[in-house]
Structure 1
Amino acid sequence: MTKFEEGIGGYSAVVVGTKPYRVSVEARRYDYGHCECYLGQNDTLCKHMVAVAIRAVTGGKPLSEEDKKLVSQVTCSGKLGELSKSELAATKKAITAGMRYIKSYEGPSRIWFSYQSSLSEGCNRLSKIVSELPVSEQTAKVLVDMLLRLDDRLCRGGVDDSDGTVGGFIEEVVSMLQEYAKLDPACTKAFDALNGKETCFGWEEPLLEFVKN
């Protein structure tokens, strides 16, 4: 990719595919844009637009080799410890960046599959982040906050999770938080934030059981 630029209301670049294509995407809706390839000329989200959108999310920087690794399942690190102040800030920022892929669906049916790919990309990015976290009350609070934000998007934010991508990710994180509580009982204090909450599919219930006990 060359000539990546941030303009008024969007981003543009030249992406090398079968040949170099000029590509642009909107800043507010990464699935809206234009590409000179066949799909782009037929108003269909293409991989070239996705590439520019990813570069925009990373602040114009290319993906590192670590970022290119696909992590599709949440796993507990099993390591006890806390994040430093700077690490905590970086983690929260990375979570917010990952959640940009999990957005409301307002487009025509022809881009639904591309939209679902965006949800998968967001969940994969979040999976990588949370799987690397040490186990502590501090990080448990970060995870609970993330789950509540995702739940809000599912319930009120217009996210179309028809294939269960986001819901499945939430369930995996809940299972990981249960492991947190077994490794460090202090983590259950983070679950207090769920008292009185009614989530989309009751994912908070197994965590609140730890609070009751």
Structure 2
Amino acid sequence: PEKMDEFSLKLIKQAQTQPDLVGPNGRRLRYLSLGCTSPRHGGKYVAEASYTNLLSEKPITIVRAACGFSGPLFPSVCTQSLISTATEQLPDQEFDVIILNFFAKGLNGLYDLAARLRQRYPDAILVVLRVCHLNHINFVQNGEIKGNIEQWATHHKLKFASPEFFDKLKIDAVTLRWRGFTERDKVLMKIRNDLGPNVVIRGIPMSIDPKETLIKYHQYYSE
């Protein structure tokens, strides 16, 4: 198998040393991840390498569905059928934590999906991930947006998201700007405000200057 980078191995080791979380009934928490990550090793999709596998040592407590969908629209319409298919080998369809992990600009259906899940699982913790990819960052020259940061890497003949890419970014005077996520964030705030206290919005902290975020959290964005 392909060798993992040191940072990933460190995270896995940390997760493996933590005991599984349990609910008030003494049962391990059960997780449903919708729109989960599509981890790849050696160019092949490897579901077991998803970060969700770090949540528990018992695979049966983690259910992934709607992986590979570009947005939440289809899952919001076919929520129950997706869950039924994903849990057909399990004794029930009960979950304690539900994770929504969709592309940053995937707005259509996100609120409806969250509302359906809240109605079906009124006591579950709903975690909505604020997903941001490297190519959601633009670079600016003379006050004008010239392209995204991947194009900046190509211009400098750097492999996108490589160690050399981040080393160059640290010393280069390039000005970076986040793409506008105002509408997306309005939806996230509406979900949090409307659907009760057990809603959590999570993502890597985004500094006003994207370069600060990339330098501090570059290992999360690495190739």
Structure-1-length-normalised TM-score: 0.31
Q: Which has the higher strand share?
A: 2
Q: Which has the higher helix share?
A: 1
